[in-house]
Amino acid sequence: MNEPNKNIKPFAMQPDKPEPEGSVEWRSPSNIALIKYWGKQGNQIPMNPSLSMTLKYAFTQTEVKWHPNDGTTQGEFDFFLSGQKVGPKFEKRVGNLINEMAKAYPVLNDLYFTITSLNTFPHSTGIASSASGLSALALSLLSAAQRATGKADEYPRFLQKASHYARLGSGSACRSIYGPYAIWGGGVNTESSDEYAIPYKPHQDFETIYDSILIFSEKPKKVGSSAGHKLMDEHFYRQGRINQVRENSFRLLKALETGDFDVWQEVVEQEALSLHGLMFASHEPVLLLEPDTIRFIHDLNAFRAGKGLKVAFTIDAGPNIHLLYADEHREIIRNFISEWIMDHHLQIQVLDDETGKGAKQLFE
């Protein structure tokens, strides 16, 4: 297993003394999948493995305060996101996660939690907050559970458990724990697992990749990802997709290991287009791309032809483009983006991000 982020201070070194009340705070980033997770079974088990690049600036910061409850309720909480109490749908997700964790940490049933969470990115940017949000929550709740019992795991084991619980909250969240890249799903290498993600360190040329996110629509998704994953259950191309991911994972890992930007571009773009191709070909077709998404891809192809630029686009379950590129082509790509937006007289937001190191605990 690759070494986890050394910047995070292991609290496991603290004395084993139960803390009936306390507070803990974590920052956890979003991530962008290069090999897409699309389709799941059972309790959040992915249909196929996925591989993501961890982001740096798009993150959620979550504080969990705990104290003993009055004994009449179990695992009760208040959850405030950006100062507002969250809605019933999200509350249910949080409640389910606490229940799952309480199976291993019954102490959670005896506590009351006040949870406050902030995102660095506005809600309306179409950036999925579930990866950063659910991973920050899983990390904070697991810290709380271990401190309340006075039994802390060693740091790598703690992160692995947090990734497992983050997965139960939202599949892609399990990858956010680690940087600069993470792999989730069994069979990719001897350590990868369906239960949690593992960190992955590529060739140094891939250690810092920039990501400009073009926000073509700020509207919430028409099809939530859980409904989207379901479309793979009976999908005509299900087996074909499983085979494709096997080959793409193998090719991408080799490219990331050797610093091969041509294969990286080919696989990353094929994964994005396959994801949307699968949506188009579902028994209930889903079309999330906007005309500007397609227009941008056409113009990018024309612009980069013959230039050998280290750039690749990817798209998640929405219309927004993530344009990934190496430092040496940063200026030319950023210029291209600005000019493209102005040439088309568009008023769109672009968020600039880059490879990050993973989650981090905050200390006072």
- Show the tokens assigned to 237: 């191309």
Select 53 or 107, whichever has its Cβ closest to ligand DP6.
53
Select 24 or 321, whichever has its Cβ closest to ligand DP6.
321
Binds ligand DP6 by CB under 6 A, chosen from 135, 160, 170, 320:
170
Binds ligand DP6 by CB under 6 A, chosen from 29, 171, 180, 358:
171
CB of 43 to ligand DP6, least distance (A): 11
Would you give the DSSP letter of residue 19?
A: -
Binds ligand DP6 by CB under 6 A, chosen from 4, 5, 23, 36:
36
State in Å, rounded, how far the first CA of the chain is from the last one.
Answer: 30
CB of 308 to ligand DP6, least distance (A): 28
Q: Can you tell me which residue has the tokens 């230039």? A: 307
DSSP string across 322-349: EEEEEGGGHHHHHHHHHHHHHHTT---E
One character per residue 183-212, x = contact with ligand DP6 (rule: CB under 6 A): ------------------------------
Residue type, 214: L
Q: How many C-beta neighbours within 10 Å does residue 215 have?
A: 19
Would you give the DSSP letter of residue 187?
A: T
DSSP string across 54-73: EEEEEEEEEEEEEEE--SSS
Binds ligand DP6 by CB under 6 A, chosen from 4, 8, 23, 37:
37
Does 28 contact ligand DP6 by CB under 6 A?
Answer: no
CB of 5 to ligand DP6, least distance (A): 20
Binds ligand DP6 by CB under 6 A, chosen from 7, 41, 82, 226:
226
> Total binding residues for ligand DP6 by CB under 6 A?
17
Select 33 or 359, whichever has its Cβ closest to ligand DP6.
33
Q: What is the C-alpha to C-alpha distance for residues 140 and 152, in angstroms, rounded to an integer?
A: 13
Does 316 contact ligand DP6 by CB under 6 A?
Answer: yes
Three-state SS letters, 156-180: HHHHHHHHHHHHHHCHHHHHCCECC
Order across the sheet with 311-315: list the strands: 311-315, 321-326, 209-215, 349-354
Contacts of 117 (CB under 8 A, 6+ apart): 60, 61, 62, 63, 79, 80, 81, 82, 133, 136, 137
Name the 3-class secondary structure at 4.
Answer: coil
Does 311 contact ligand DP6 by CB under 6 A?
Answer: no
Does 229 contact ligand DP6 by CB under 6 A?
Answer: yes
Q: Candidates 99-107, 169-177, 258-266, 356-364 — which segment interacts with ligand DP6 by CB under 6 A?
A: 169-177
Select 44 or 293, whichever has its Cβ closest to ligand DP6.
44
Select 23 or 170, whichever has its Cβ closest to ligand DP6.
170
- Show the tokens assigned to 42: 């059972």
Select 315 or 326, whichever has its Cβ closest to ligand DP6.
315
Q: Are strands 111-119 and 76-81 parallel, antiparallel or unpaired?
A: parallel
Binds ligand DP6 by CB under 6 A, chosen from 24, 215, 317, 337:
317
Q: What is the C-alpha to C-alpha distance for residues 248 and 244, in angstroms, rounded to an integer?
A: 6
- Residue 126's region, left for phi above 0, alpha for psi from -120 to 50, else beta, is left
Select 33 or 98, whichever has its Cβ closest to ligand DP6.
33
CB of 93 to ligand DP6, least distance (A): 9
Does 164 contact ligand DP6 by CB under 6 A?
Answer: no
Interactions with ligand DP6, residue window 68-127 (CB under 6 A): none
One character per residue 333-362, x = contact with ligand DP6 (rule: CB under 6 A): ------------------------------
Binds ligand DP6 by CB under 6 A, chosen from 60, 130, 132, 192:
130
DSSP string across 75-93: SEEEEEETTEEPPHHHHHH
Please give the residue ranges that form the binding site for ligand DP6 (CB under 6 A): 33, 36-38, 44, 50, 128, 130, 170-172, 225-226, 229, 275, 316-317
